[in-house]
Amino acid sequence: MYATDISNDLEHVLIPADKLAARVEELAAQIDADHAGQDLLLVGVLNGAMMVMSDLSRAMKSLVTVDWMAISSYGAGTQSSGVVRILKDLSTDIHDRDVLIVEDIIDTGLTLSYLVQNLTSRGPRSLEIAAMFRKPEAVDAPVDVKYVGFDLPNEFVVGYGLDYNGLYRNLRDVATLATHVYR
């Protein structure tokens, strides 16, 4: 075992890789069916959506275009600040396009409501949201998420694109962190 082995820092695995993969297949089939005949643009939110975007887009059978936005909403900690900054904007003009935002996780919904407001102002033909994970607080969120992979307990999780201070994104599973990591 290496000193830097990810597993040293984990408490327990909440969703193993095979369950993530199976759910992504289901979502992809549903999105394909709902958007038949459309020229769909997938907008991934960096960096968290890196895994769900690459898996979801490959699981889809439709022709799609992929673009990315990078935003920052959390800073370095585990609390949503509500302050969203665009670090990298889309390369695509979404006017009159059918757009699906692909997000890793919705917690308070602050990040997504900002994004929806921002992208709506650009005049897309349609704008929907897919989020791989949803936290309990999202029940009160000001946004409507059409596609949800998994509902999670109210714990901070990492893996499958989700990070803590930039680390653990490359974990295949979704897991909680051991308490020693937060110290």
Residues at the site binding Mg ion, with contacts judged by CB under 5 A: 48, 104
β-bridge pairing 10-15 and 174-177: antiparallel
Note if the bond before 47 is cis, omega within 30 degrees. Answer: yes
**From the list ligand XMP, Mg ion, none, which binds 176 (C-beta under 5 to 8 Å, kind-based)?**
none
Q: Does 10 bind ligand XMP (CB under 6 A)?
A: no
Residue closer to ligand XMP by CB (options 17, 32) is 17
Contact present, 70 and 86 (Cβ < 8 Å): yes
Q: Is position 107 annotated as part of the catalytic site?
A: yes
Candidates 40, 42, 100, 104; binder of ligand XMP (CB under 6 A) is 104
Contacts of 123 (CB under 8 A, 6+ apart): 94, 95, 96
* Binding segment toward ligand XMP, per CB under 6 A, in 14-22, 53-61, 116-124, 156-164: 156-164
* Binding segment toward ligand XMP, per CB under 6 A, in 20-28, 89-97, 105-113, 120-128: 105-113
Candidates 15, 20, 108, 149; binder of ligand XMP (CB under 6 A) is 108
Angle at 141 between CA 172 and CA 87, to 5 degrees: 60
Cα separation, 159 vs 89, in Å, equals 25
Structure tokens at 8: 């040293």
Residues at the contact surface with ligand XMP, assessed by CB under 6 A = 48, 73-74, 80, 103-112, 135, 156-158, 162-163
Q: Which residues carry out catalysis?
A: 107
